Amino acid sequence: MFRWNARVGASIRFSFTIQINNHHSPMPELDLPQRQATDTLMLTRFWYRALPADRVHRNQLHQASLLEIPLVIGRDRAGRPFALRDACPHRGMPLNCGRFDGENLECGYHGWQFDVHDGQCELIPSLTSDQKLKVDRIYAGSYPCEEQDHFIWVYIPDPGPPGAGFGPRSEPPDLAPQIEKFSSKYKLTYLQAEMPVSIDHGIIGLMDPAHGPFVHQAWWWRSRHSIHEKQKHFEPIPNGFRMSAHTPSSNSAPYKLLRLYADADSITTTIDFVLPNIRTETIRAGKYWFSSLTTVTPITRNHCRIDVVAAWNLFRWVPFVPNLMKFVFAKFVEQDRRTMELQAEGLKYNPHLMLIDDADRPAKWYFQLKAAHLEAKRTGAPMKHPMTGPVMLKWRS
């Protein structure tokens, strides 16, 4: 288990208790302060974005990494994507160095051949006709793989027992997440940024409301002097929480412009966070909408990547506006990336960290959700949501 230790005072020092318990026998609890490299648990049994789909070409192999698992990703002759562990089950040769004919992948070391979609071994060239090794019982590690909204998604199951080798792969319980769309015609774009911090810091940075006035300053957006008190309503949703629909703060020019353009009396924004790493934002103004699905993907335990995919039907026919929107987005993401790069310098020295109310409450919920998820997985009981009902939070930003 994995819990918060609250201490008295206006702020809460955060430290968790982690108990690694594989055999259901009591083990001493380790009470460690939050440290960026050691505490980050990367959640398995979820879909993760691996690569932008337009970078993965037919009959070609690409390397990727998710949750410290090396992957080789490609498309077969028909364009269907696949993901294999980038290590041959024979002697560990990276499979991306092999030969791929659009159907089978041949390892570059001893020529074993594998079906790219299920990882099953098809041929071992060194076998003589009287050697009866059952080739089809050998598998390369293979992962469910789907293309969705410009990304190749890969499902990462729980790790098998150490040293057990691979068998037929485990199938995902659901499809990869999709962006919600509210009309048949829309535009779609994506942005990526790599951050040298753990997934936890990437996620709490993404949901943090208090950094806006300091990190995201721009003359066309807002200045730090526009900081003011805000109240937002939050409610629990399965595996996460929602900032309930509301009219976004009117202190920014783009929102004023949007209201005018859409000729709508109300603009509503909904922001959801769900485990393991998904933030969705939906803005609706009359018949116009904007929708985004942002993920923070653990590449290694202290390195993550933010992928923002946005779809919209606003301003589809107005020249420059989509480019302008992408520019605005890119600027925000770059500001976040630069901030986390600097933060990583400070985190090297394992400082004690704090989460304060109310601005850091979403971050607390994130850690509590993660702990509750792991606890439910361990015990097999339904997950106990850390929020019992709607909550109003107040902060200045």
User: Interface with ligand FES by CB under 6 A: which residues?
Assistant: 88, 90-91, 93, 107, 109-110, 112
CA distances from 232 to 21, 26, 282 (A): 38, 41, 16
Applying CB under 5 A, the site for Fe ion has a residue count of 1
Task: Please report how close the Cβ of residue 211 comes to Fe ion at its closest, in angstroms.
Answer: 6
The answer to whether 153 and 253 are in contact (CB under 8 A) is: no
Helix (H, G, I), strand (E, B) or coil at 243: strand
d(CA 168, CA 293): 31
Task: Please report how close the Cβ of residue 110 comes to ligand FES at its closest, in angstroms.
Answer: 3
**Pair type for strands 278-285 and 268-274:** antiparallel
Stretch that binds Fe ion, among 27-35, 124-132, 334-342, 352-360 (CB under 5 A): 334-342
Nearer to ligand FES, 2 or 112 (CB): 112
Residue keyed to tokens 């790069």: 341
Nearer to ligand FES, 109 or 255 (CB): 109
CA distances from 280 to 110, 141, 211, 265, 273 (A): 46, 31, 19, 23, 7
Nearer to Fe ion, 64 or 199 (CB): 199
- The answer to whether the bond into 162 is cis (omega within 30° of 0) is no
Q: Is 279 in the site for Fe ion (CB under 5 A)?
A: no
d(CA 120, CA 104): 10
The answer to whether 150 and 188 are in contact (CB under 8 A) is: yes
Task: Please report how close the Cβ of residue 382 comes to Fe ion at its closest, in angstroms.
Answer: 33
Nearer to ligand FES, 96 or 198 (CB): 96
Q: Is 191 in the site for Fe ion (CB under 5 A)?
A: no
CA distances from 286 to 258, 265, 293, 303, 315 (A): 11, 8, 21, 40, 13
d(CA 255, CA 325): 12
Residue type, 141: G
For residue 244, the tally of other CB atoms under 10 A from its CB is 16
Residue 336 interacts with, from ligand FES, Fe ion, none (CB under 5-8 Å by kind): Fe ion
Residue 91 interacts with, from Fe ion, ligand FES, none (CB under 5-8 Å by kind): ligand FES
Hey, CA dihedral for 392, 395, 396, 397, is it positive or negative?
negative
Residue type, 355: L
Q: How many helices (H) and strands (E) are present in the chain, helices listed first? A: 5, 24
Q: Give the residue closest to Fe ion by C-beta.
A: 336
Nearer to Fe ion, 262 or 340 (CB): 340
d(CA 9, CA 356): 10
Residue 272 interacts with, from Fe ion, ligand FES, none (CB under 5-8 Å by kind): none
Residue 387 interacts with, from Fe ion, ligand FES, none (CB under 5-8 Å by kind): none
Q: Is 336 in the site for Fe ion (CB under 5 A)?
A: yes
Task: Please report how close the Cβ of residue 125 comes to ligand FES at its closest, in angstroms.
Answer: 9
Nearer to ligand FES, 110 or 233 (CB): 110
Burial 287-305 (b: 16+ CB within 10 A, else e): ebbbbbbbbbbbbbbbbbb
Q: Is 296 in the site for Fe ion (CB under 5 A)?
A: no
Task: Please report how close the Cβ of residue 89 comes to Fe ion at its closest, in angstroms.
Answer: 42
Residue 156 interacts with, from ligand FES, Fe ion, none (CB under 5-8 Å by kind): none
Task: Please report how close the Cβ of residue 74 comes to ligand FES at its closest, in angstroms.
Answer: 17
Task: Please report how close the Cβ of residue 31 comes to ligand FES at its closest, in angstroms.
Answer: 44
Task: Please report how close the Cβ of residue 273 comes to Fe ion at its closest, in angstroms.
Answer: 14
Nearer to Fe ion, 336 or 360 (CB): 336
Residue 143 interacts with, from ligand FES, Fe ion, none (CB under 5-8 Å by kind): none
What tokens does 54 get? 């337009």
What tokens does 336 get? 């976040």
Nearer to Fe ion, 149 or 336 (CB): 336
Task: Please report how close the Cβ of residue 281 comes to Fe ion at its closest, in angstroms.
Answer: 12
Q: Tell me which residues touch Fe ion (CB under 5 A).
A: 336
